[in-house]
Structure 1
Amino acid sequence: MSTKRISLSLATISAAALLAACGSMSPMKPMMFSQDGLPDAVKVPMGNKVAMETAGVGEITYECRDKANAPGMTEWVFVGPNAALNDRNGKQVGKYYGPPATWESMDGSKLTATQLAVAPAGVGNIPYQLVRANPAMGMGAMTGVTHIQRVAIKGGVAPASLCSPASKGVKEIVKYQADYIFWKAM
């Protein structure tokens, strides 16, 4: 046999062995979200199950405004979010925006919510959050959602730049990422 033919035969055998090994492996199951390791304040109550896991990628707008009950002082104030909600494969399945804070599925169903709790999520990150969903508007993925958790947070805190009386009204946009976990009653 020629060297070229031997190399081709070995490549064919190697490919067949690799395919056979892959075929005998059981498919990987997607990991389900676990509340282990989250602060108790932001854990969803028993009697609920994960309905949808999304990764929010976007930005938060802050505005330099007068500080409440402190004449002459200013602070960065949260104005609202604007983020794409992607499934675990990176496909956009919805969006998150506000005010008021609204989670909307690509199928048109959407909801607002009432904040129940927050907990620190590390330096430079907005806090973990647990909200109770208001009844959904429209039929679709948001129908029946009871709670939403914000976890796996990266960034989003108020700007580090100076907010002074001279810069009142200035808006700044900060990038952030967070997973939004949607829960429904069992």
Structure 2
Amino acid sequence: MNTKLILSAAAVALLSACASSGPMTPMMPFSQMALPDAVKVPDGHKVAMETVGAGEITYECRVKAGTGTVDQMEWFFVGPAAGLKDRSGKMVGSYYGPPATWQSADGSKLTGMQVAVAPASAGNIPHQLVKANPAMGAGAMTGVSYIQRTATRGGVAPSQVCAASNAGQRITVQYQADYIFWTPA
């Protein structure tokens, strides 16, 4: 077979493969510009890791805090259980609680204290800013100073009635959110 023909066929195959995989777009660095000021990480920090958390949040029907009466019931946030994937879709950790804990696949993990929340669109849990506690174990979570929850989808309390008749009932709802991990610059 002719060498030029073989090279031409190889070039066509390569170009076809590239075209079928869609346009190549470089991953842009995370920007806080569109976030409410309350959940922006202070200056002097840089993004260390970006993840997408997908899983569920559990709520329980309980007496409303501070009322002590079954006449006032509410869905109480019990805790999350989610897998964390990097932007390429690789599983890199998990998020669970209580207490709210982010754990890397390398075993390092951290907890934190909520600093602020800001409303997201209707039907979605709010954006959140968390000040990280020092990491336990060495690895990806070492040195993380803040965690942001952004791009939330779902996760709000159930729409079912919460009353004395179903006190103690637990319901899980699906959610997804981006978790952005920041370290000092």
Q: TM bucket by the smaller chain?
A: 0.7 to 0.9
- Work out the number of aligned pairs and report it: 173
Residue 155 of structure 2 corresponds to: 156
| CA 1:97–1:17: 2 relative to 1, 3 Å | closer
Aligned equivalents of 1:14, 1:47: Cα separation in 2: 47
Residue 35 of structure 2 corresponds to: 38
Aligned equivalents of 2:55, 2:39: Cα separation in 1: 22
Residue 66 of structure 1 corresponds to: 63
Q: 4+ residue runs of structure 1 moved beyond 6 angstroms?
A: none
TM-score normalised according to structure 1 size? 0.87
- Is residue 54 of structure 2 the alignment partner of residue 47 of structure 1? no
SS of corresponding position for 2:55: strand
| CA 1:58–1:13: 2 relative to 1, 3 Å | closer
Gaps of 5+ in 2: none
SS of corresponding position for 1:144: coil
Report the Cα offset of residue 31 of structure 1: 1.1
Deviations 1:65-118 (A, max 9, x none): 011222121100000000000001111100000000000000000000000000
Q: In the TM superposition, what are the counterparts of 1:1-186 in structure 2 within 5 Å?
A: 12=9, 15=12, 18=15, 28-70=25-67, 71-72=69-70, 73-186=72-185
User: What percent of counterpart residues are identical?
Assistant: 62
Aligned equivalents of 2:14, 2:139: Cα separation in 1: 45
Aligned equivalents of 1:31, 1:18: Cα separation in 2: 25
Aligned equivalents of 1:16, 1:106: Cα separation in 2: 38
Aligned equivalents of 1:17, 1:132: Cα separation in 2: 47
Deviations 1:33-67 (A, max 9, x none): 10011000000000000000000000000000011
Report the Cα offset of residue 13 of structure 1: 8.2
Report the Cα offset of residue 129 of structure 1: 0.1
Gaps of 5+ in 1: 1-7
TM-score normalised according to structure 2 size? 0.88
| CA 1:34–1:68: 2 relative to 1, 3 Å | same
